[in-house]
Structure 1
Amino acid sequence: MQRITTKRIFFVTGEQGCGKSTFLAALMQKYALQPSGFITKKEEAVKEPALYMHPVVAGTAIYRYTTGNKVGICPQQKPIGFAPIFDIFGVMCLKQAEEVILSSIGDEHSDADCDAASLSPALPVILMDELGFMEAEAELFFRAVCDLLSDSRYYIIGAVKPHGTRFLPVLEQMPEAIVYRLTLQNRIKLYERLEQAQNFTSFLDAIGAE
């Protein structure tokens, strides 16, 4: 008998402009997810576009623009990632996400005044938007991501670049993970699945069964 693996990791991949981050935002809104983790945003600057990593805490992004969270630059010739920033700031975002989630779980379990029937604990979700090729030399960040991916306590959602990243092969080899290749053609179908599923876990089950 074939063993069915419970899905707990969902990543979208696809070419630029296909709507990866937009779908993740819709996913979080639909199921009232409040993940912690990080998002990366490209900002157009006077000299050259730059990529900044922003921490997300319990569903709220904390935007800042400093050299400490500037993880790369995007000149026309070739994007350049700053491995030390990923290794310091990126790892900090992931550790903070884990601490926030574990603290939340502890608070829920210790709240003796709550009626057990009325409890609706938030799912322990970590957000990684997105994993790309700029982190190629950021070994500490890579290990931190892999450690969280392999930790069965967490649900993880995110976006991953379709080319040139060592994260995608890791995700594709994990039985607990779903990597959905989003295109302009199948995007409507994915949103239909989002509307049909009653909750996040049933959404994972539906996508995983396809």
Structure 2
Amino acid sequence: MTRILVVDDDPALVRTLGINLRARDYEVESAFDGRSALQSVADAPADLMVLDLGLPDIDGVEVIRRVRTMSQLPIIVLSARHESDDKVEALDEGADDYVTKPFGVDELLARIRTSLRRSAVEEPPAPSIATADFSLDFAERVATRAGHPLHLTPTEWRLLEALAHHRGHLVRQEDLLFAVWGNGYERQSHYLRVYTGNLRRKLEPTPGRPRYLQTEPGIGYRLEV
């Protein structure tokens, strides 16, 4: 049975989600603060986490950051925060989806089904890449440039891996957005502009004249290695 960990400090919301999830044959575990959530993941990782950012002890973004050191379980964020910076930060630290409160239960259930499907059919790591300027080991999540360690965020890794699976070929914007951010983000093309810009600054010898991360304006991107 698929096990879902619901993390929120609102008992009424946790109870409502628990009733709806159990009615659809999910096993549900609850946590009301960040420390309890992290302990649950360490003891017996769930198949998916539904996580509120506004927890009483540890900020939800920090919970995501710590979870990602020990598990790749899908994380769907619930938050009353509407600012795009909060959304980008949560996704950048490794969240798989972001639902803004108030939300419809049917919408959340659809997001859960999508995240579980993506997790079940997730592709194996892309083959390692070595160029004259940088190297990428997708299996170990290790990047170097000029022999020195290079920090890439979880979102940057997912974007590079989606491109690396089709290296040398054009990947359409909507396919990249689904692969990296999931269902419902197919129109958020500005995410790709922001993250490819960050990656070019980190990887390209001349970011203004990219050699590796190529753009086909309005269509998609390709990784030339």
Query: TM-score, structure 1 length as denominator?
Result: 0.35
- Work out which structure has the larger RCO, using CA pairs closer than 8 Å and 6 or more positions apart in sequence: 1
TM-score, normalised with respect to structure 2:
0.33
